[in-house]
Amino acid sequence: MHPDTHTQVAIDLGERSYGISIGAGLLSQDTAWQGLPAAATALIVTNDTVGPLYAQRLQQSLSAHYPKVLTHSLPDGEAYKTWETLQSIFDVLLENACDRKTVLFALGGGVVGDITGFAAACYMRGVPFVQVPTTLLAQVDSSVGGKTAINHPIGKNMIGAFYQPQRVVCDLGTLQSLPARELSAGLAEVIKYGPMADMAFFDWIDHNLDALLQRDPQALAYAVKRSCEIKAHVVGQDERESGLRAILNFGHTFGHAIEAGLGFGEWLHGEAVGCGMVMAAQLSQRLGLVDAAFTQRLTALIARAGLPTVGPDLGAEVYLHHMRVDKKAQAGDIRFVLIDPPGSAVVRGAPDALVSEVVQACCR
Amino acid sequence: MHPDTHTQVAIDLGERSYGISIGAGLLSQDTAWQGLPAAATALIVTNDTVGPLYAQRLQQSLSAHYPKVLTHSLPDGEAYKTWETLQSIFDVLLENACDRKTVLFALGGGVVGDITGFAAACYMRGVPFVQVPTTLLAQVDSSVGGKTAINHPIGKNMIGAFYQPQRVVCDLGTLQSLPARELSAGLAEVIKYGPMADMAFFDWIDHNLDALLQRDPQALAYAVKRSCEIKAHVVGQDERESGLRAILNFGHTFGHAIEAGLGFGEWLHGEAVGCGMVMAAQLSQRLGLVDAAFTQRLTALIARAGLPTVGPDLGAEVYLHHMRVDKKAQAGDIRFVLIDPPGSAVVRGAPDALVSEVVQACCR
């Protein structure tokens, strides 16, 4: 056992409370799968990339607890986060006469987690599910918050539900097979928690970025744990995103505009968030909320993490349009998450002219 | 004002509590629409049959409270309770840049209510909605319980959510335009509450059936109110249908098999429930839970209400198959709602052979 690389985070949401287990090798450790709701059938939902690597291991562990363990593999990629893919999960469930006690296991990254969680929320009006995130981004982002969704042609994550898992199992071993580009994308969401909530964590990331990029299990365990803790603290105060929780979207407003403007799947979500944080920092600076030194330090860290810091040249109008139809907009007013001061975030509007300046300064 | 025909039922669900307003002419009465959540936009979802009759009246009332009131009309019928129809609501919302404060109004019968409620549950992970049921069945059934759903080709209401409305407004005036066949279908759900919960109400229905069939507003007001009260009492103890609430499905297990076996839309839901109650009573009798006099009295009342008491001749195997894939089944075991004794319901299994006998006795 590796005591330094095995840890837990408790998510306290009353009767919807659950735990996050973090550790190397959890897929094959029976303790990780004990005490879940009993059922005749478990359905592992995965994708064509992750499934061949890890589905059999999970299937083996679950076979000790469920009489029947099915696996359903989705095509890999954000482009498949659609109704059609969701429908394929319902088809498997119904063709196998799965009842309302069936437990769904989401084995994969954010797309698999979001779509499987939404399937669990809707199938027979709700069945239990377990998140088994295999990307850094999913481990630090979708582990906490209960957000599930699919995309609509007009907007990302427009159709979904708040629905909490029974448990989240983060096997750090799965990060060893993660492509470098996806590791960097995950680091964007880790970095995010610093400026918005905890500059000591920001300093820690700054000092440990090389270890994280080398996938050191101890460094990864701490990064995942601290990210989940910060997110849990915020979500615990605002489960259904009525206010405070919006600060978790630091980097996401500009980021969503990049993703929507280029077409979903062109950039990874984390890449768009990385660049979006640079743009949000620039906007914060232009509003006098942070100084140039902070913006430079954040930009340098994002670049070192292997993330883009220059946005695509879509023109300010395209950025503004996509941000206006974002879920976070209210009656067409864009709500930006800005840093004020470093270690703390605020949600507020900004003049279109200033936003256009930022787009011009950051995109080419 | 008509004091005897205007009444209220309070649904107590903690922070999800809401009220049901029952009365003739409520569509045009401003008091019925005061105090709802504020928003830039209200969207009335209706259908091609109900919309031409009542949408303008509702639009006028809502215009006093919302800057923009949109109307979206769906094709009429259970056959359109599909993902495609649901998607058309999302399309309208997104094409009009509707934000997450938008209030949806479901103006129509059960299909409009179920699909609009599910759209509200999923759009941007949840926006407020108001039920404005215009059929007797919807007024007594979907007013309480927070069940929303769409159908899957393999099963009815398989994809959905528990999602509570902000308010339910039952304008009894809309029942005057209801086709006789649909009035009878609604009476099936009214009659249901007697055997399962309240034989005094059963007696009242027996004595007042002619007034109900003549659409007397006072009789309708009491029938809607008492039905909602009984359902609220049951749902209040089991919001997410983990146990007790299943008794509300008296007549529905056989009824769903009729609907699924014939293809959804062939029989009205209430017609299938009416006949399903006869079959469930027959099964109760064969298990020694009720006597023949009760079964005869219930069957006679269902017939007087204009409902079928003889099921389609699909063969016992078809009935058993559809009941096994019903949401209420557990690991393939059919859970019947049976009467034991009159005024009280139980949920239990029954031998296939006995079920086959009932199918043979009741279907031709």
The reply to whether residue B241 touches residue A121, judged by beta carbons under 8 angstroms, is no
Which chain B positions have a beta carbon within 8 Å of A122's beta carbon?
122, 159-161
- Predicted confidence (pLDDT) at residue A234 exceeds the cutoff of 60: yes
DSSP letter assigned to residue B333: B
Residues 6+ apart with CB under 8 A from A127: A98, A100, A101, A102, A103, A104, A120
For residue B332, give both structure tokens.
Answer: 């393939």
Give me the catalytic one of A269, A286, A322, A335: A269
Of B83, B126, B329, Cβ closest to residue A87: B83
At A235, the pLDDT band (50, 70, 90 cuts) reads confident
Residue A283 has pLDDT above 80, yes or no: yes
Q: Which of B124, B155, B241 sits opposite A158 (nearest CB)?
A: B124
Q: Hey, is the C-beta of B94 within 8 angstroms of any chain A C-beta?
A: yes
Out of A124, A161, A332, the one facing B158 most closely (by C-beta) is A124
CB nearest A159 (choices: B123, B147, B148): B123
Task: Please list, in sequence order, all residues whose beta carbon lies within 8 angstroms of the beta carbon of residue A115, skipping any fewer than 6 positions away.
Answer: A45, A74, A81, A85, A86, A89, A106, A148, A150
Q: Is A335 a catalytic residue?
A: no
Mutation target among A41, A96, A103, A124 for the B interface, most CBs of B within 10 A: A124
Q: A292-310: per-residue pLDDT in tens?
A: 999 999 999 999 999 999 9
Contact (CB<8Å) A99/B125 = no
Min Cα separation B180/chain A (Å): 32
State the catalytic residue, choosing from B78, B182, B189, B271: B189
Question: Is A123 an 8 Å CB contact of chain B?
Answer: yes
Per-residue pLDDT band at A242 (split at 50, 70, 90)? low
Percent of chain A with pLDDT over 70: 96
What is the structure's pLDDT at B261? Answer: 93
pLDDT, average across residues A237-261: 86
Task: Supply A25's token pair.
Answer: 């090798």
A173 pLDDT higher than 70: yes
Asked if ipTM goes beyond 0.90, one says no
Q: Could you read off the pLDDT of B3-48 as tens digits, one per residue?
A: 456 899 999 888 899 999 999 999 999 999 999 999 999 999 999 9
Chain A partners within 8 Å of B100 (Cβ): 327, 330
**C-alpha A279: how far from chain center:** 20
pLDDT band at B251 (very low <50, low <70, confident <90, very high): very high
Q: What is the 3 state secondary structure string of chain A?
A: CCHHHCEEEEECCHHHCEEEEEECCHHHCHHHHCCCCCCCEEEEEEECCCHHHHHHHHHHHHHCCCCEEEEEEECCCHHHCCHHHHHHHHHHHHHCCCCCCCEEEEEECHHHHHHHHHHHHHECCCCCEEEEECCHHHHHCCCCCCEEEEEECCEEEEEEEECCCCEEEEEHHHHHHCCHHHHHHHHHHHHHHHHHHCHHHHHHHHHHHHHHHCCCHHHHHHHHHHHHHHHHHHHHCCCCCCCHHHHHHCCHHHHHHHHHHHCCCCCCHHHHHHHHHHHHHHHHHHCCCCCHHHHHHHHHHHHHCCCCCCECCCCHHHHHHHHHCCCCCECCECCEEEECCCCCEEEECCCHHHHHHHHHHHEC
Q: Estimate to the nearest angstrom the gap between the alpha carbon of B90 and the chain centroid.
A: 23
Closest-CA residue of A relative to B325 is A97
* B245 part of the active site: yes
Q: Report the pLDDT value the prediction gives residue B243, as an integer from 0 to 100.
A: 73
Q: Is the pLDDT of residue A120 over 90?
A: yes
What is the pLDDT at residue B241?
67
Query: Model confidence at A331, in pLDDT bands (50, 70, 90)?
Result: low
| pLDDT at A2 (0 to 100) | 46
Whole-structure pTM value: 0.88
Ranges A79-83, A230-234, A322-326: which has the least confidence = A322-326
| Tokens, residue B220 | 């309708």
Q: Output the pLDDT for position B32.
A: 96
Best of A92, A125, A324 to disrupt the B interface (most B CBs within 10 Å) is A125
Reading the block at residue A3, the tokens are: 């005591």
A347 touches chain B (CB under 8 A): no
Q: What integer is the mean pLDDT of B176-199?
A: 96
Mean pLDDT confidence for A327-349? 87
Q: Residue A84: pLDDT above 60? A: yes
Answer yes or no: are the C-beta atoms of A68 and A40 closer than 8 Å. yes
pLDDT surpassing 60 at residue B2: no
Of A99, A124, A162, the CB nearest to B126: A162
**What is the interface size between A and B, counted as CB pairs within 8 Å?**
94
Q: What CATH class does B180-362 carry?
A: mainly alpha
pLDDT at A155: 82
**Amino acid residing at A9:** V
Strand partners, A348: A336
Q: What is the pLDDT of residue A39?
A: 97
Chain B, residues 269-328, CB within 8 A of chain A, namely 324-325, 327
Residues of chain B contacting A147 with CB distance shorter than 8 Å: 125
Report whether pLDDT(A240) > 80. no
Confidence of residue B325 (pLDDT cuts 50, 70, 90): confident
Average pLDDT over residues B208-237: 94
For A5-44, what is each residue's pLDDT tens digit? 689 999 988 889 999 999 999 999 999 999 999 999 999 9
Domain ranges across chain B: 3-177, 180-362
Per-residue pLDDT tens for B67-111? Answer: 999 999 999 988 899 999 999 999 999 999 999 999 999 999 999
The reported pLDDT for the residue numbered B108 is: 97
Average pLDDT in chain A:
93
Which of A72, A167, A226, A252 is flagged as catalytic? A252
Rounded average pLDDT over A130-158: 92
| Minimum distance, in Å, between the CA of residue B156 and any CA atom of chain A | 10
Chain A contact set for B97 (CB, 8 A): 324-325, 332
Mutate to test the interface with B, among A100, A159, A164, A242 (most CBs of B within 10 A): A159
pLDDT at site B3: 47
Q: In which region does residue A68 sit, left (phi positive, over 0), alpha (psi from -120 to 50) or beta (all else)?
A: beta
Given an 8 Å threshold on Cβ–Cβ distance, is B158 in contact with A90?
A: yes
Helices (H), chain B: 51-63, 83-95, 110-122, 136-140, 180-197, 199-213, 217-236, 252-262, 269-286, 292-304, 316-324, 352-362
pLDDT value of residue A162: 94
Of the candidate CATH numbers 2.30.30.90, 3.40.605.10, 3.40.50.1970, 3.50.50.60, the domain formed by A3-177 belongs to 3.40.50.1970
Chain A contact present for B101, CB below 8 A: yes
Average pLDDT over residues B286-312: 97
Provide CB contacts within 8 A for B304, sequence distance 6+: B209
